[in-house]
Amino acid sequence: MRYLHTMVRVQDIDASLHFYCELLGMKETRRIENEKGRFTLVFLAADADEEGSVETQAPLLELTYNWPAEGESVENYEGGRNFGHLAYRVDDIYALCKKLQDGGVTINRPPRDGHMAFVRSPDGISLELLQEGDALPPAEPWLSMENTGSW
C-alpha cells in the first residue's frame, strides 16, 4: 500500500491556491476541470515532494472545488464536510476489499470497475482505494454490489 493524497473541499479556489502555493510554498502539479461533473481538482505537492510527485502522483493534497449551480452560491461546508478522504493505491483491490469485508468493514462504494472503492474507518474517515496499474477485470461479487451509505 502507498499513500497517495488527502482531499479537501474548498469554497474559493483562488484564495486556497494563494494560501497553499503563495504562502506555504506548495506547487501545483496538475489540474482537472470536469465540466460534466461540475468540479475542479487541483493537486499540490510540498516543494520537497514536487519532483517525485510528478512521476508517482503522491504524496499530494487534492483541492476540490465544486462549481455552484447557475444562480446559486458555493456550498458552505460545515461539520467537517470540507475534508474529503484519504487515498491509497493498492496491489489488489479485490483482495483488500474482501479482507476488509471479512473483517466487518462495509464497502461503501464497491470496486465494480476493478479500479476504485471507498470504505470508512471506525472513526468515519473516508478512504479511497485505487488499483495499482490497470483496472482489474470486473468481477463478482463486486460487479453487482450496490453502494452503501456515503463516502
Cα-Cα end-to-end distance for the chain:
20
d(Cα 142, Cα 144) in Å, to the nearest integer? 6
C-alpha cell at 115: 479500479
* C-alpha Rg value of the chain to the nearest Å: 17
The pLDDT value given to residue 4: 93
The whole-number pLDDT of residue 13 equals 93
CB neighbours of residue 131 within 10 Å: 20
Residues of the chain with confidence (pLDDT) below 50: none
Contacts 24+ apart (CB under 8 A), 25-31: 26/61, 29/53, 29/54, 29/57, 29/60, 30/57
Residue-range domains of the chain with CATH: 2-66 (3.10.180.10), 83-131 (3.10.180.10)
Query: Minimal CA–CA distance to 5: which of 22, 29, 21?
Result: 29
User: Which parts are annotated binding residues?
Assistant: 62, 85, 128
Would you name the residues annotated as active-site residues?
128
